[in-house]
């Protein structure tokens, strides 16, 4: 297939592009690199089956050739990014989704929307199933991301019902792994960076809030399974093993060998207290479940961050 991946230069998008090429597909990556990095896809550029179009999917962009599938990942996705770029985040979920839906429809292509567990907000139901409507503050500090994805889901569903578009929706829970940005504000990257730098690890509240961490390789398998299906979704993709953020910090200290201490700060407004997916639908409809334990995934992630820090150090010249 020829697959269009919006946001293909990002953390998750670059891994997805790589996996598509590995299985024999060709890829057209669309990215304006506002939060993605060209370094993420540098190794893919020599492949004749890979093309990168630098563009903003919320605006008119030039696309040539065929498309058999469209995967829409383009959006600021970390709190630091969508707090800095609220209007761009809303545009990615609205105009960006519309533009890519139209592209898929012109080519009679499968369209998969990468939505998020944030559509559940600070959930009152636990674990979260796809039939739960969520508990979201529409004017809170996280609303630009939460509501942009909720609107994108509604838009994809309306195109399916009204125009017969072949759409699928996945709701992605916390994903981590190599190529995360050190200062993106996500909990795994923040704690790993702080531990490697010998800084106190920042925890909010008492660290008792929970998340479910899914390694990037597992998430990519789930996205490919959704792409290859004809299921409309929404389908939760995430790790059903629930961990407290304090537990995560302890595992990061173990994986890095750091003796950093812990620093506790007030819990941010609207920060979810508990988050865990029910993945029964993913198991039944896609045959998918995560395989990589958190301890193993953290080892790979820490190794990548450590290598990046080493590569960034200035070369020391020999004395003359």
Q: From 266, 222, 201, select the one nearest 114 (Cα to Cα).
A: 222
- Looking at residue 316, its pLDDT comes to 54
Six-digit token string for 91: 């545009």
**Quick one: DSSP state of residue 73?**
-
pLDDT band at residue 141 using 50, 70 and 90 as cut-offs: confident
CA distance 11 to 216: 9
Is pLDDT above 90 for 313?
no
Q: From 214, 223, 210, 188, select the one nearest 291 (Cα to Cα).
A: 214
Ordered DSSP codes for 125-181: SSSBPTT---B--TTSTTHHHHHHHHHHHHHHHHHHHHH---EEEEEE--EE-TT--
Catalytic residue among 82, 120, 132, 145: 145
Query: To the nearest whole percent, how much of the chain has pLDDT over 90?
Result: 85
120 a catalytic residue: no
Six-digit token string for 254: 């173990």
Judge contact between 35 and 86, C-beta under 8 A. Answer: no
Is pLDDT above 80 for 317?
no
Between the two ends of the chain, the Cα-to-Cα distance in Å is 57
Segment 239-261, tens digit of pLDDT: 999 999 999 999 999 999 999 99
Q: Global pTM?
A: 0.94
Segment 78-126, tens digit of pLDDT: 888 888 999 999 999 999 999 999 999 999 999 999 999 999 999 999 9
- Looking at residue 319, its pLDDT comes to 47
Dihedral Cα 243, 247, 251, 252, nearest 10 deg: 100
Mean of all residue pLDDT scores within the chain:
94
Between residues 313 and 48, which one has the greater pLDDT? Answer: 48
Sorted by where each starts, the structural domains of the chain and their CATH numbers stand as: 2-177+214-239+275-291 (3.40.50.720)
Partners of 4 in the β-ladder: 28, 70
pLDDT band at residue 269 using 50, 70 and 90 as cut-offs: confident
């Amino acid at each position: 297939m020829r697959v269009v991946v919006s946001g293909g230069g990002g953390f998750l998008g670059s891994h997805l592009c790589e996996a598509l090429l590995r299985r024999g597909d060709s890829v057209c990556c669309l990215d304006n690199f506002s939060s993605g990095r060209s370094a993420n896809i540098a190794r893919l550029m020599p492949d004749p089956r890979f093309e990168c179009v630098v563009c903003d999917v919320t605006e008119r962009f030039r696309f040539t050739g065929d498309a058999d599938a469209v995967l829409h990942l383009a959006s600021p996705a970390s709190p630091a990014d969508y707090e800095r770029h609220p209007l761009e985040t809303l545009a990615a979920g609205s105009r960006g989704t519309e533009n890519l839906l139209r592209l898929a429809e012109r080519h009679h292509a499968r369209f998969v929307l990468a939505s998020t567990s944030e559509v559940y907000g600070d959930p009152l139901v636990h674990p979260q199933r796809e039939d739960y409507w969520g508990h979201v503050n529409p004017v809170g500090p996280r609303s630009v991301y939460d509501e942009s994805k909720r609107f994108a889901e509604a838009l994809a569903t309306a195109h399916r019902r009204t125009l017969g578009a072949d759409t699928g929706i996945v709701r992605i829970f916390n994903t981590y792994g190599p190529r995360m940005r050190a200062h993106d504000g996500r909990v795994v990257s923040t704690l790993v960076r702080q531990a490697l730098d010998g800084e106190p690890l920042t925890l909010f509240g008492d660290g008792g809030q929970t998340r479910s961490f899914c390694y990037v390789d597992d998430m990519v398998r789930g996205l490919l399974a959704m792409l290859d299906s004809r299921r409309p979704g929404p389908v939760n993709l995430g790790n059903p093993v629930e961990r407290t953020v304090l537990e995560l910090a302890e595992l990061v200290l173990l994986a890095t060998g750091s003796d950093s201490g812990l620093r506790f700060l007030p819990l941010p407004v609207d920060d979810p207290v508990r988050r865990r997916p029910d993945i029964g639908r993913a198991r039944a409809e896609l045959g998918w479940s995560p395989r990589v334990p958190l301890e193993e995934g953290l080892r790979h992630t820490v190794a990548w961050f450590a290598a990046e820090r080493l590569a960034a150090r200035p070369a020391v010249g020999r004395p003359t």
